[in-house]
């Protein structure tokens, strides 16, 4: 850490301590340089739009494998389908700037749809495939969709929406492409257009973990900044093999998997059903997996039971995020010769805010801020400003007015920075528990402390108000059963409770849990594999 950084932080803290607690930190734009060679760093450039990136991909990687979904499509072969869908969009009167929905599962249809829409200068609205007809119809109205591009597997749901939307165009990707290729339609391919960084690119729904899901609007410039961030922190970035596990309608799957894969000339193998994940890993032998921690935990546990080959044999890198990453995962993947990189991001930040190339030294950190990001910590809450930030929530004026202040987006996450500039997430502002004593407790911060134990896989802290008594903190623990087998220890609940008490006794008295429940089964989780606090 430079003396300048120390001095800056100290001055900022002194300046604001008389008013409110505030600390402003600007990213060190060169902090990631030492983790990659000069050739790799030279390749990591900022594209202004998806069109510009895709044009580069075609010129550099044209004959290389791009997407494998039952068939292996090169970048050039993929472009032929994209160009035909562009033709269909424009032939039906759609214009630059129009909002066009994508309603498709993880598939080549989704990839073709996204690239066709965005390289026409239109804005793709990503509709999760689990939405029913009524929800899709609601999105058509709310976002003013001029068209809906869909996968044939969702035809039945689409038909119910089509009957109610006479002024909206509907396109089946497969039908558009197959009819043009067979000559049964006069559809002609259309090239990509130049798109400005400031033009709208896509609307991605937030997870809605702490409230109602909203549509975050990302410009081309913001999206491509997020894609560039995905290339920092390690050397083996280009020409890899990815297996797509996360949904493409989620920002982590879209940006850190699909678009980073294309940006780097890599091959993307699509897993249609996560029940087939390990079959597909064995078949395609990915070198990179992008996963949420719960899936990383499952993969690790099964590989220990069934052998390292369960992970395909060629896996070198795991990118983990969207929930707290246990230090245990970093250590245990490292023993297998696999680097697991924790990170932090939001839908509103085009997926990425920070990444941790120092995971072995500081496994509980989510890393350094990416270049160009400016952070402000106000009363413990992280505020963000940077070229990757979203433009606002579509149709949510009230939400937008409260989400921003002084040009910063207020994340709702509670954080701290250490003296090296490493970021640590300590909780969610909305989840803070105020005890009857007035003491404020972050359940996530406590959960992180308990999850430092290798015998605890996951846990949940909540408050239990009782009439006439002070609020009590209750801890639910889900043990890591594999720990006991690996260490030749017979599993016992008493062992887990003793470990919990060891950690608990070291906490400040106001933060100690009063009751512990040891679970036999995993927690109920959200579709993104986070613990669902409301249902546990």
Phi, psi angle pair for 157, to nearest 5°: -65, -40
Query: So what's the pLDDT on residue 373?
Result: 97
pLDDT at 528 over 80: no
Going by the DSSP 8-state scheme, the letter that residue 164 receives in this structure is T
pLDDT at 140 over 80: yes
Query: So what's the pLDDT on residue 15?
Result: 38
Write the pLDDT tens digit of every residue in 74-104. 999 999 999 999 999 999 999 999 999 999 9
**Cβ neighbour number for residue 67 with a 10 Å cutoff:** 25
Indicate the pLDDT class of residue 4, thresholds 50, 70 and 90. very low
Q: Is 139 helix (H, G, I), strand (E, B) or coil?
A: helix
Query: So what's the pLDDT on residue 415?
Result: 93
Write the pLDDT tens digit of every residue in 364-388. 999 999 999 999 999 999 999 999 9
Secondary structure in 3-state letters for 357-399: CCCCCCCCCCEEECCCCEEEEECCEEEEECCCCCCEECCCHHH
> 515 forms bridges with which residues in the sheet?
474
Q: What mean pLDDT is predicted for residues 223-246?
A: 95
Indicate the pLDDT class of residue 207, thresholds 50, 70 and 90. low
**Portion of the chain with pLDDT greater than 70, in percent:** 94
Q: Which domains are assigned to the chain?
A: 432-535 (3.30.300.30)
Secondary structure in 3-state letters for 433-483: EECCCCCEECHHHHHHHHCCCCCEEEEEEEEECCCCCCCEEEEEEEECHHH
Counting other chains too, the contacts that 306-311 makes at CB distance below 8 Å and 24 or more residues apart are: 308/336, 309/282, 310/278, 310/281, 310/282, 311/281, 311/336, 311/338
Query: So what's the pLDDT on residue 469?
Result: 53
Query: So what's the pLDDT on residue 18?
Result: 34
Kind and range of the H or E run holding 205: strand 200-205
pLDDT at 5 over 50: no
Query: So what's the pLDDT on residue 392?
Result: 95
Indicate the pLDDT class of residue 6, thresholds 50, 70 and 90. very low
Q: Distance between alpha carbon 254 and the CA centroid of its chain, in Å?
A: 8
Q: Are 176 and 88 in contact (CB under 8 A)?
A: yes
Write the pLDDT tens digit of every residue in 456-502. 999 999 887 654 455 789 999 999 988 888 888 889 999 999 999 99
Indicate the pLDDT class of residue 438, thresholds 50, 70 and 90. confident
pLDDT at 161 over 50: yes
243: which residues sit within 8 A by CB, 6+ positions away?
268, 269, 271, 277, 280, 281, 284, 286, 289
Q: Distance between alpha carbon 399 and the CA centroid of its chain, in Å?
A: 22
Find the range with the poorest average confidence among 182-196, 441-455, 464-478: 464-478
Q: What mean pLDDT is predicted for residues 189-214?
A: 86
Query: So what's the pLDDT on residue 7?
Result: 37
Question: Cα–Cα–Cα angle for 276, 282, 285, nearest 5°?
Answer: 120
User: What is the pTM (predicted TM-score) of this model?
Assistant: 0.87
Write the pLDDT tens digit of every residue in 293-341. 888 988 998 888 877 788 988 999 999 987 788 888 999 999 999 999 9
Indicate the pLDDT class of residue 193, thresholds 50, 70 and 90. very high
Cα-Cα-Cα-Cα dihedral sign, residues 118, 168, 249, 383:
positive
Write the pLDDT tens digit of every residue in 101-128. 999 999 999 999 999 999 999 999 999 9
Indicate the pLDDT class of residue 210, thresholds 50, 70 and 90. very low
**Cβ neighbour number for residue 499 with a 10 Å cutoff:** 18
Cα-Cα-Cα-Cα dihedral sign, residues 222, 228, 234, 240:
positive
pLDDT at 11 over 70: no
* 211 vs 56, residue with greater confidence: 56
Q: What mean pLDDT is predicted for residues 167-177?
A: 90
Tokens of residue 204, six digits:
């991605």
Torsion of CA 326, 328, 330, 332, to 10 degrees: -150
Indicate the pLDDT class of residue 225, thresholds 50, 70 and 90. very high
Q: What mean pLDDT is predicted for residues 267-293?
A: 92
pLDDT at 232 over 70: yes
Query: So what's the pLDDT on residue 60?
Result: 97
């Amino acid at each position: 850490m430079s003396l300048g950084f120390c001095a800056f932080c100290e001055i900022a803290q002194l300046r604001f301590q008389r008013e409110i607690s505030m600390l402003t930190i600007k990213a060190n734009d060169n902090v990631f340089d030492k983790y990659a060679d000069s050739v790799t760093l030279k390749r990591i450039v900022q594209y202004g739009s998806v069109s510009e990136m895709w044009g580069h991909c075609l010129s550099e990687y044209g004959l290389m494998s791009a997407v494998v979904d039952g068939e292996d499509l090169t970048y050039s072969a993929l472009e032929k389908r994209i160009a035909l869908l562009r033709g269909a969009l424009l032939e039906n009167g759609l214009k630059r700037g129009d909002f066009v929905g994508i309603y498709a599962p993880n598939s080549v249809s989704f990839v073709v749809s996204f690239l066709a829409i965005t390289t026409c200068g239109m804005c793709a609205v990503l509709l999760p495939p689990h939405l029913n007809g009524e929800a899709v119809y609601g999105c058509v109205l709310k976002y003013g969709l001029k068209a809906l591009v869909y996968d044939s597997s969702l035809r039945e749901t689409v038909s119910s929406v089509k009957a109610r939307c006479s002024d909206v165009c509907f396109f089946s990707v497969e039908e558009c492409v197959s009819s043009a290729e067979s000559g049964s339609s006069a559809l002609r391919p259309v090239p990509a257009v130049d798109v400005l960084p400031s033009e709208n690119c896509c609307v991605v729904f937030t997870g809605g973990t702490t409230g109602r899901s909203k549509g975050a609007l990302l410009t081309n410039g913001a999206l491509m900044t997020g894609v560039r961030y995905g290339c920092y922190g390690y050397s083996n970035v280009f020409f890899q093999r990815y297996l797509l596990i996360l949904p493409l309608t989620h920002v982590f799957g879209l940006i850190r998997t699909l678009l980073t894969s294309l940006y780097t000339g890599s091959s993307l193998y699509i897993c249609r059903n996560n029940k087939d994940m390990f079959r597909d890993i064995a078949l395609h032998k990915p070198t990179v997996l992008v996963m949420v921690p719960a899936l990383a935990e499952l993969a690790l546990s099964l590989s220990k039971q069934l052998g390292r080959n369960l992970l395909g044999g060629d896996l070198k890198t795991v990118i983990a995020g969207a929930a707290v990453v246990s230090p245990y995962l970093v250590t245990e993947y490292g023993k297998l010769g696999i680097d697991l990189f924790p990170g932090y991001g939001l839908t509103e930040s085009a997926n990425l805010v920070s990444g941790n190339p120092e995971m072995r030294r500081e496994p509980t950190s989510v890393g350094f801020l990416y270049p160009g990001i400016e952070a402000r910590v106000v009363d413990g809450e992280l505020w963000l400003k940077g070229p990757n930030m979203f433009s606002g929530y579509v149709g949510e004026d009230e939400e937008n007015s409260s989400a921003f202040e002084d040009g910063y987006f207020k994340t709702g996450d509670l954080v701290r920075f250490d003296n090296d500039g490493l970021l640590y997430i300590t909780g969610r502002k909305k989840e803070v528990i105020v005890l009857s004593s007035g003491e404020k407790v972050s359940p996530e911060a406590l959960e992180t402390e308990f999850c430092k134990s290798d015998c605890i896989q996951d846990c949940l802290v909540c408050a239990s108000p009782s009439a006439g008594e002070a609020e009590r903190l209750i801890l639910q623990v889900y043990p890591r059963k594999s720990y006991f087998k690996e260490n030749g220890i017979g599993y016992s609940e008493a062992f887990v409770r003793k470990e919990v008490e060891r950690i608990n006794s070291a906490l400040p008295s106001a933060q100690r849990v009063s009751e512990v429940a040891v679970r036999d089964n995993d927690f109920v989780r959200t579709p993104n594999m986070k613990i669902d606090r409301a249902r546990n």
